[in-house]
């Protein structure tokens, strides 16, 4: 078994090495390669594949595969959660938004951060006590599992695929600018590597890859921010005044309203980022990797600190890029006048401006590692939705063998990886931060309302949760399809049928309204029993007792 895993690792990784060698020989004349970045990238990939092999030897049960055997400490899990959150959209996307729009770019980072107190005070402890591997475990504790798990799996897969598109687009652009390889090949590299991490190492490998990446990214971003401030004599006034002087928008970059101009879009985006955080399947899944609720609370505490600090750094990096890159022809496209590779590459170019080729290589490798780690966590949550929520709980009615469930999860991982690669190539031109915003909108419209109400509202019924959650999901998807981005920008229509880019205000409201309304109108026997079962669920969520222990208590 061990030898077969090693053989699979070699077989799957061999095309990457061969194609890379061919690309290094054939594309040098077309675009200069950053040898330092490629070397550091290969070192990181080698190290993480070693971690994957180590984790594969320790992954012997379903609990090991999905939840790392519950062996992760609160501090380690906090770093891993921060690693999940400090994605390509955060590092490349937010710094790029600040570079393009100034102060307004912070709307994403503030929205991302505000969601964490909700998780800390409302969800973390109860989720850890109620669930087993996925958040659907907690929701279906007192509701009928088949409809609830089916809906949760659909919502999870939509969130995962949208989030994966954003990460893969970021990876493709990064490789295209720095490594001299084709965009499509970069997407294939990331897809194959994420399949390797999840298929063989499960949650244990994914967690440690996230921890290592989070540490490297925090160190690199800290150095970059300090280097920027040192050029400004550590004066924020000098940083902002210089940015205003060189930016084409002038003083407007210090005022809100440039990125999201109308109040409906601003509120909608804020709701998506705030409540979507509390509904992200790959984040919620991490609370099952710690041994108890106390460590779950610690996880959120540490993660909030790391993430908050990181977003402060992205703010400095974005404004630093304005000051140091805008009038520097070395980093500008001679044809368009914009920054090489687009605004998402602002942080990468800034690394070279403040630290030279070596630091550029380090940041490039860390940025790529960021994408690899995040897509691994996303893929695992999507695979668990298929194998645990659909296959084991719905199709096999909770009677699936552990080996079969893990086998289905690995097949699902490969399938999701292939689909993600295909979509990543199709959506090459899309803004990564916007794509993540859409993923958050779906998480806020489906996962969060059901999870929150199942824990805090006694009158919630299966019928209400299923129909209301489905309405939230469909509303979010339709608003996205008929909105300006897809209906106009991608499909080429003249005018959008839905006028706003961000659907969360409408889809989240629809979900809550219909869940509450239908639950109140549900007078069935099962609805009454579910209200009674709420008491047992409440005891378990507070004490951590199992179902039998909660009843006895």
Element (H, E) at 415: helix 402-426
Two structure tokens written together for 137: 């475990």
Mean per-residue pLDDT, 240-255: 85
Angstrom distance (rounded) from CA 350 to CA 360: 8
DSSP H helices, 326-345, are none
Residue 65 domain flag: no
CB 306, CB 79: distance < 8 Å: yes
Mean per-residue pLDDT, 122-140: 77
**Which residue in 368, 374, 371, 425 sits closest to 207, CA to CA?**
374
Q: How many domains does the chain have?
A: 1
Residue 234: count other Cβ atoms within 10 Å of its Cβ. 11
**Which residue in 443, 382, 387, 393 sits closest to 147, CA to CA?**
393
CB 222, CB 317: distance < 8 Å: no
Angstrom distance (rounded) from CA 379 to CA 368: 16
pLDDT of 224 higher than 90: yes
- The C-alpha torsion from 102 through 107 and 110 to 116, rounded to 10°, is -150
**Angle made by CA atoms 163, 166, 167, in degrees to the nearest 5:** 90
Residue 1 domain flag: no
Angstrom distance (rounded) from CA 204 to CA 210: 10
In angstroms, the Cα distances linking 91 to 38, 100, 153, 234, 538 are 19, 14, 28, 22, 39
Percent of the chain with pLDDT over 90: 12
Two structure tokens written together for 443: 């998480």
Two structure tokens written together for 148: 């609830």
Residue 226 domain flag: yes
- Label residue 467 by pLDDT band (50, 70, 90): very high
Bigger pLDDT: 322 or 15? 322
Angstrom distance (rounded) from CA 253 to CA 240: 9
pLDDT digits (tens, 9 = 90+) for 342-385: 777 888 889 888 988 888 888 877 877 777 777 777 788 888 88
pLDDT of 549 higher than 80: no
pLDDT digits (tens, 9 = 90+) for 270-289: 888 888 888 888 888 888 88
Two structure tokens written together for 32: 């200069």
SS3 of 125-159 = HHHHHHCCCCHHHHHCCCCCHHHHHHHHHHHHHHH
Minimum mean pLDDT range among 114-128, 302-316, 530-544: 530-544
pLDDT of 513 reads: 95
SS3 of 299-314 = HHHHHHHHHHHHHHHH
What is the domain-level CATH number for residue 394? 1.20.1730.10
Residue 58 domain flag: no
Residue 6 domain flag: no
Question: What pairs with residue 332 in β-bridges?
Answer: 339
Torsion 258-262-265-269 (CA) sign: positive
pLDDT of 229 reads: 94
- Label residue 178 by pLDDT band (50, 70, 90): low
Query: What burial letters (b/e) apply to 466-499, b meaning 16+ CB within 10 Å?
Result: bbbbbbbbebbbebbbbbbbbbeeeeeeeebebe
The structure tokens 């990214």 sit at 217
Angstrom distance (rounded) from CA 260 to CA 273: 14
Residue 324 domain flag: yes
pLDDT digits (tens, 9 = 90+) for 150-163: 888 888 888 888 88
CB 206, CB 377: distance < 8 Å: yes
Residue 270 domain flag: yes
Q: Is 0.85 topped by the overall pTM?
A: no
Question: What pairs with residue 339 in β-bridges?
Answer: 332
Residue 144 domain flag: yes
CB 349, CB 325: distance < 8 Å: yes
pLDDT of 16 reads: 42
Helix (H, G, I), strand (E, B) or coil at 332: strand
pLDDT of 146 higher than 90: no
Domain that holds residue 526: 72-552
pLDDT of 428 higher than 80: no
pLDDT digits (tens, 9 = 90+) for 485-518: 778 877 778 888 888 888 899 999 999 999 999 9
Two structure tokens written together for 546: 């199992």
Average pLDDT score, the chain: 79
- The C-alpha torsion from 380 through 385 and 391 to 392, rounded to 10°, is 90
- Label residue 537 by pLDDT band (50, 70, 90): low
**Angle made by CA atoms 348, 351, 354, in degrees to the nearest 5:** 150
Helix (H, G, I), strand (E, B) or coil at 339: strand
DSSP letter at 396 equals S
CB 421, CB 180: distance < 8 Å: no
Mean per-residue pLDDT, 255-266: 74
pLDDT of 29 reads: 35
pLDDT of 409 higher than 80: yes
CB 234, CB 69: distance < 8 Å: no
Which distant-in-sequence residues (6+ apart) come within 8 Å of 414 by Cβ? 195, 199
Torsion 543-146-157-197 (CA) sign: positive
């Amino acid at each position: 078994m061990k030898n077969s895993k090693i053989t699979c690792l070699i077989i799957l990784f061999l095309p990457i090495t061969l194609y890379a060698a061919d690309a290094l020989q054939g594309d040098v004349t077309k675009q200069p390669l950053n040898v330092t970045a490629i070397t550091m990238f290969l070192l990181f990939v080698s190290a993480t594949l070693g971690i994957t092999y180590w984790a594969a030897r320790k992954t012997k049960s379903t609990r090991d595969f999905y939840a790392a055997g519950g062996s992760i400490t609160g501090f380690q899990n906090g770093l891993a959660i921060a690693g999940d959150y400090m994605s390509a959209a955060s590092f490349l996307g937010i710094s790029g938004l600040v570079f393009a729009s100034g102060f307004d770019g912070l709307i994403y980072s503030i929205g991302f951060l505000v969601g964490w107190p909700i998780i800390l005070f409302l969800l973390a402890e109860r989720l850890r006590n109620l669930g087993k591997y996925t958040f659907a475990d907690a929701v279906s504790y007192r509701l009928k599992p088949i409809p609830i798990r089916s809906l949760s799996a659909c919502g999870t897969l939509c969130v995962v695929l949208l989030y994966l598109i954003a990460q893969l687009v970021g990876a493709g652009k990064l490789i295209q600018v720095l490594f001299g390889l084709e965009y499509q090949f970069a997407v294939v590299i990331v897809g194959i590597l994420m399949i390797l991490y999840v298929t063989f190492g499960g949650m244990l490998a994914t967690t440690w890859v996230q921890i290592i990446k989070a540490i490297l990214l925090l160190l690199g971003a800290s150095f970059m921010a300090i280097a920027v401030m040192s050029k400004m004599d550590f004066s924020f006034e000098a940083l902002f005044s210089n940015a205003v002087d060189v930016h084409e928008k002038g003083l407007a970059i210090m005022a809100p309203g440039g990125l999201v101009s109308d109040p409906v879009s601003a509120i909608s985006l804020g709701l998506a980022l705030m409540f979507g955080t509390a509904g992200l399947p790959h984040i919620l899944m991490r609370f099952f990797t710690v041994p108890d609720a106390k460590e779950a609370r610690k996880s959120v505490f540490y993660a909030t600190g790391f993430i908050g600090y990181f977003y402060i750094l992205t703010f400095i990096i974005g404004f630093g890029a304005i000051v140091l890159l805008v009038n520097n022809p070395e980093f500008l496209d001679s044809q368009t006048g914009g920054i090489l590779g687009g605004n998402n590459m602002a942080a990468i170019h800034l690394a070279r401006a403040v630290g030279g080729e070596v630091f550029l290589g380090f940041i490039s490798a860390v940025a790529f590692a960021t994408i690899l780690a995040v897509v691994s966590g996303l893929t695992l949550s999507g695979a668990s939705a298929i194998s645990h929520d659909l296959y084991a709980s719905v199709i096999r009615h909770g009677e699936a063998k552990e080996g079969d469930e893990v086998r289905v999860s690995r097949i699902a991982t490969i399938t999701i990886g292939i689909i993600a690669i295909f979509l990543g190539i199709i959506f090459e031109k899309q803004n990564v931060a916007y794509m993540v915003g859409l993923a958050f909108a779906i998480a806020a419209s489906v996962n969060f309302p059901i999870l929150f109400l199942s824990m805090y509202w006694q009158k919630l019924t299966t019928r209400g949760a299923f129909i209301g959650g489905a309405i939230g999901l469909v509303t979010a998807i339709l608003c996205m399809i008929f909105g300006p981005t897809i209906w106009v920008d991608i499909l080429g229509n003249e005018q959008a049928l839905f006028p706003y880019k961000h659907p969360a205000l409408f889809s989240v409201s629809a979900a809550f309204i219909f869940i509450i309304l239908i639950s109140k109108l549900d007078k069935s026997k099962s609805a009454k029993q579910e209200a009674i079962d709420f008491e047992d669920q409440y005891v378990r969520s507070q004490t951590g007792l199992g179902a039998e222990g909660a009843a006895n208590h």
